[in-house]
Amino acid sequence: MFKLKQKAQAVWEAPREDGRAPVIAFATEALVSAMDAKVWEQAANVARLPGIVGASFVMPDAHWGYGFPIGGVAAFDPEGGVVSAGGVGFDISCGVRLLTTGLALAEIQPYLDALAKSLFRHVPAGLGSKGPIRLSKREMRRVLEEGAHWAVKQGWGEMEDLARIEEGGRMEGADPSAVSARAIERQLPEMGTLGSGNHYLEVQLVERIYDAETARGFGLAEGEVVVSIHCGSRGLGHQIGTDYLAEMVKAAPRFGIRLPERDLACAPIRSELGQRYLGAMRAGINCALANRQVITALARKAFGEIIPEAKLSVLYDVSHNTCKEETHLVQGEKRRLFVHRKGATRAYPPGHPELPEALRPFGQPVIIGGTMGTASWVLVGVQGNPAWFSACHGAGRAMSRHAARKRFRGEALVRTLRAEGVRIEAASLRGVAEEAPQAYKDVDEVVRAAELAGLAKPVARLRPLICVKG
């Protein structure tokens, strides 16, 4: 669709046309050739939005999404720029939290079956799953203001957890009054749930270390076991996205914005609508942070029943599907920008002031989720990242859910993975089929592209032992 020019080993650029910003993709030749044409069309549409700064960036795991491609990154100037609900996505602040256990594989191996059952029993998963908490609307608004701090105050975790979460566990500027009653109602029974789709809780083995010094700084050791939690803001985030997408579509003509695609709906950052959406989205971020905090406590309880000596400590919690106001260098000048990351994560380098003090000498952990049958990765942010210090967030789909359901059977996948040493506990075998490892890109190739492009540096490869799926 575009005459992509290879600018470096894993950097491609589509020439600037019709006054739009360039499209820059970070991928190996194999990944570029496998990306569907819709990715390039959507990235080009993003490059035409008012006030974009730099380029419309495409991450190595990119695939088709709504509005922005999943794996799309773009920054906008506060004056004249826009905020887009489609540039954040429906699962606001979907993210990954990684916990260390200090346990060697040999210590946990005899208990894997019992632990898998315990985790599945304690952590609600699946479409429409209900959590262990029943909140009033008033209490839900406190969640939206306080994020993970609310959860810790309620006994769902420890104060030291908060230092290892983006934004310190609480996103400032949240406005619960900008969240609809319907969004709040949807979330009332869902706090502390994984949900469905690609969300999971995995027990993983640190299979190989690639950067020994950084791994020590992160508390990772080869042969030890970690826990990964991947979920987001559940029904509340989805409803916020639905509500504001519809409102932004209607308001676009009033702002003089011509939308190349309905799902790219946006509003000027400084407009009342733009500010209201930002307040609601930040409340959605707090909801997701609180949700992962409660699930962390539930995972600790499940481990405690089977392996009482286990101590689950938060390594880091990163979000994707956000728009955050950040300071970046633009042509040598510090500027405040609103950075959309949809299916992408921050990748701050060593020394960045927003990192926790204990992690600052090493850089930000970048947690790359894999599939239930392959691997996940821990990377670290590096200096010189060309995409507003952003990196990929996962393997990225290579096949639609519909196509995966037609090709794979959940029962057969569970048996095959069990034979390979991965225990699957799932609320839906249909969901297992949709999330077949073969439906995703090669996560190792995605990580290689991220390293070659200068987005982040590999620290450790993680292999799944237990996967709880919705």
Query: Tens of pLDDT along 140-162?
Result: 999 999 999 999 999 999 999 99
Percent of the chain past pLDDT 70, that is, above it, reads 100
Secondary-structure breakdown of the chain: helix, strand, coil percentages, each rounded to the nearest 5: 35, 30, 35
Give start and end residues of each alpha helix (H) in 109-190: 112-122, 137-146, 148-153, 159-162, 181-187
Enter the DSSP assignment of 383: T
DSSP secondary structure string for all residues of 57-117: EEEEEEE--SSSPEEEEEEE-TTT-EEESTTT-SSTT-EEEEEEEEEEHHHHGGGHHHHHH
Angle at 81 between CA 79 and CA 83, to 5 degrees: 125
Give the model's pLDDT for residue 1: 46
Closest CA to 43 of 67, 7, 26: 67
SS3 call for 417: helix
Enter the DSSP assignment of 408: -
Give the model's pLDDT for residue 2: 59
Query: Tens of pLDDT along 212-249?
Result: 999 999 999 999 999 999 999 999 999 999 999 999 99
Give the model's pLDDT for residue 131: 80
SS3 call for 405: helix
Task: Work out the widest C-alpha separation in the chain, in whole angstroms.
Answer: 64
DSSP secondary structure string for all residues of 263-322: GG-EEETTSHHHHHHHHHHHHHHHHHHHHHHHHHHHHHHHHHHH-TT---EEEEEEE-SE
Contact 381, 407 (CB under 8 A): no
Contact 367, 96 (CB under 8 A): yes
Contact 457, 382 (CB under 8 A): yes
Query: Tens of pLDDT along 399-414?
Result: 999 999 999 999 999 9
* pLDDT exceeds cutoff 90 at 385: yes
Q: Which of 230, 352, 393, 402 is labelled catalytic?
A: 393
Q: How far is CA 266 from CA 22, 93, 95, 324, in A?
A: 20, 18, 23, 15
d(CA 424, CA 94): 22
Query: For strand 423-426 and strand 456-469, is the pairing parallel, antiparallel, or unpaired?
Result: parallel
* Average pLDDT value over all residues in the chain: 95
Contact 97, 148 (CB under 8 A): no
Residue pointed to by tokens 């059977």: 409
d(CA 265, CA 245): 6
Q: Which amino acid is at 353?
A: P
Q: Find the mean pLDDT for residues 385-394.
A: 97
* HSE-up of residue 374 (Cα within 13 Å, Cβ side): 21
* pLDDT exceeds cutoff 80 at 18: no
Query: Tens of pLDDT along 99-134?
Result: 999 999 999 999 999 999 999 999 988 777 778 888
Closest CA to 220 of 106, 315, 297: 315
Q: How far is CA 434 from CA 62, 90, 109, 376, in A?
A: 18, 19, 28, 18
Q: Find the mean pLDDT for residues 9-36.
A: 90
Query: How many helical (H) and strand (E) elements, i.e. helices and strands, does the chain have?
Result: 15, 19
| Token pair in block for residue 127 | 């479409």
Query: Tens of pLDDT along 332-376?
Result: 999 999 999 999 999 999 999 999 999 999 999 999 998 888 999
Query: Tens of pLDDT along 405-448?
Result: 999 999 999 999 999 999 999 988 999 999 999 999 999 999 99
SS3 call for 39: helix
Question: 8: pLDDT confidence band, cut at 50, 70 and 90?
Answer: very high
Give the model's pLDDT for residue 130: 79
Angle at 297 between CA 294 and CA 301, to 5 degrees: 140
Q: Find the mean pLDDT for residues 315-328.
A: 97
The residue ranges of every structural domain in the chain are: 5-124+194-242+299-469
The reply to whether 199 belongs to the active site is: no
Any idea which fold 5-124+194-242+299-469 has?
tRNA-splicing ligase RtcB (3.90.1860)
Give the model's pLDDT for residue 78: 97
